[in-house]
Amino acid sequence: MVNYYGRAFKRESYRRLLLIGRIEPARPIRGTRDRFGSENIKYSHILKIASSIAELYCYDHVSTPILELSQVFERTLGEDSDIIGKELYSFVDKGDDKLTLRPEGTAGIVRALISNNLIYDLPQKFYYYGPMFRHERPQKGRLRQFEQFGVELFGHEHPTSDIEVIDMAWTFLNKIGLGDSIELEINSLGDSESRTKYRDVVREYLRKNEHHLSEDSAKRISTNPLRVLDSKNPKDAPVIQDCPTITEYYNSTSAKRFDDVCQGLQDLNILYKINPRLVRGLDYYDNTIFEFKCLNPNLGTAQGTVLAGGRYDGLVQIMGGKEKVPGIGWAAGIDRLAMILNDNFIPSRKRPMAIIIIPDREKSENLSTETEPIISSKNNKLYYYGLNLSKFLRDKDIPTLFYHSSHQSSLKNILSNTVKTNASHVIFVGENEIAKGEVTIKDLDNKIQKGCKIENILQYIKI
Q: Are 76 and 114 in contact (CB under 8 A)?
A: no
Q: Are 25 and 139 in contact (CB under 8 A)?
A: no
What is the DSSP pairing of strand 327-333 with strand 145-154? antiparallel
Q: Are 33 and 40 in contact (CB under 8 A)?
A: no
**What is the band of 65 on the pLDDT scale with cuts at 50, 70, 90?**
very high
Q: Which residues fall within 8 angstroms of residue 323, CB to CB, at 6 or more apart?
A: 119, 120, 316, 317
DSSP assignments along 359-383, one per residue = S-GGGGGGHHHHSPPSSSHHHHHHH
Least confident of 288-302, 389-403, 429-443: 288-302
Measured in degrees and rounded to the nearest 5, phi and psi for residue 115 equal: -60, -35
**What is the band of 16 on the pLDDT scale with cuts at 50, 70, 90?**
low
Sheet holding 353-358, edge to edge: 400-402, 353-358, 425-430, 438-443, 448-453
What does the pLDDT average to over 34-62? Answer: 93
Q: What does the pLDDT look like over 219-234, one tens digit per residue? A: 888 888 888 888 888 8
Q: Which residues fall within 8 angstroms of residue 3, CB to CB, at 6 or more apart?
A: 9
Q: Are 333 and 309 in contact (CB under 8 A)?
A: no
Q: Is the model's pLDDT at 1 over the cut of 50?
A: no
Give alpha helix (H) positions in 271-333: 315-318
Identify which of 417, 411, 448 has the alpha carbon closest to the alpha carbon of residue 429: 411
- Determine the Cα–Cα distance for residues 330 and 323; give it in Å rounded to an integer: 22
Give alpha helix (H) positions in 396-424: 411-420
| Average pLDDT for the chain | 85
Identify which of 303, 306, 296 has the alpha carbon closest to the alpha carbon of residue 330: 306
DSSP assignments along 114-169, one per residue = HHTTGGGS--EEEEEEEEEE--PPPBTTB-SEEEEEEEEEES--SHHHHHHHHHHH
What local confidence, expressed as pLDDT, does residue 5 receive?
A: 45
- Determine the Cα–Cα distance for residues 107 and 104; give it in Å rounded to an integer: 7
Sheet holding 98-101, edge to edge: 67-69, 98-101, 89-92
* Vertex 21 angle, CA 16 and 22, to 5°: 80
Q: Which residues fall within 8 angstroms of residue 117, CB to CB, at 6 or more apart?
A: none
Q: Are 380 and 75 in contact (CB under 8 A)?
A: no
What does the pLDDT average to over 32-55? Answer: 91
Q: Is the model's pLDDT at 108 over the cut of 90?
A: yes
Q: Is the model's pLDDT at 44 over the cut of 60?
A: yes
**What is the band of 18 on the pLDDT scale with cuts at 50, 70, 90?**
low
- Determine the Cα–Cα distance for residues 184 and 324; give it in Å rounded to an integer: 29
- Determine the Cα–Cα distance for residues 197 and 42; give it in Å rounded to an integer: 46
**What is the band of 344 on the pLDDT scale with cuts at 50, 70, 90?**
confident
What local confidence, expressed as pLDDT, does residue 453 receive?
A: 85
What local confidence, expressed as pLDDT, does residue 112 receive?
A: 96
Q: Which residues fall within 8 angstroms of residue 403, CB to CB, at 6 or more apart?
A: 354, 355, 356, 357, 414
What does the pLDDT average to over 39-59? Answer: 95
What does the pLDDT average to over 274-301? Answer: 81
Q: Is the model's pLDDT at 6 over the cut of 60?
A: no
What local confidence, expressed as pLDDT, does residue 463 receive?
A: 54
What does the pLDDT average to over 24-52? Answer: 89
What local confidence, expressed as pLDDT, does residue 372 receive?
A: 45
The model's pTM: 0.83
- Determine the Cα–Cα distance for residues 406 and 414; give it in Å rounded to an integer: 7
Q: Is the model's pLDDT at 91 over the cut of 80?
A: yes
Our CA dihedral for 88, 93, 97, 101, rounded to 10 degrees, sits at -30
Give alpha helix (H) positions in 268-410: 315-318, 334-340, 367-370, 377-395
Q: What does the pLDDT look like over 136-145, one tens digit per residue? A: 887 776 788 9
- Determine the Cα–Cα distance for residues 284 and 459; give it in Å rounded to an integer: 62
Identify which of 331, 371, 345 has the alpha carbon closest to the alpha carbon of residue 179: 345
Q: What does the pLDDT look like over 390-436, one tens digit per residue? A: 999 999 999 999 988 655 567 777 887 787 888 889 999 888 878 88
Bridge partners (DSSP) of residue 291 are: 185, 308
Our CA dihedral for 387, 392, 395, 401, rounded to 10 degrees, sits at -50
Least confident of 3-12, 51-60, 92-101, 322-331: 3-12
Better-predicted residue by pLDDT, 299 or 137: 137
What local confidence, expressed as pLDDT, does residue 37 receive?
A: 81
* Vertex 401 angle, CA 397 and 407, to 5°: 155
- Determine the Cα–Cα distance for residues 155 and 146; give it in Å rounded to an integer: 29
Most confident of 30-39, 150-159, 364-373: 150-159
Most confident of 44-53, 80-89, 209-218, 300-309: 44-53
**What is the band of 368 on the pLDDT scale with cuts at 50, 70, 90?**
very low
Q: Which residues fall within 8 angstroms of residue 281, CB to CB, at 6 or more apart?
A: 81, 82, 83, 230
Q: Is the model's pLDDT at 281 over the cut of 80?
A: no
What does the pLDDT average to over 184-201? Answer: 92
Identify which of 61, 41, 40, 63 has the alpha carbon closest to the alpha carbon of residue 51: 61
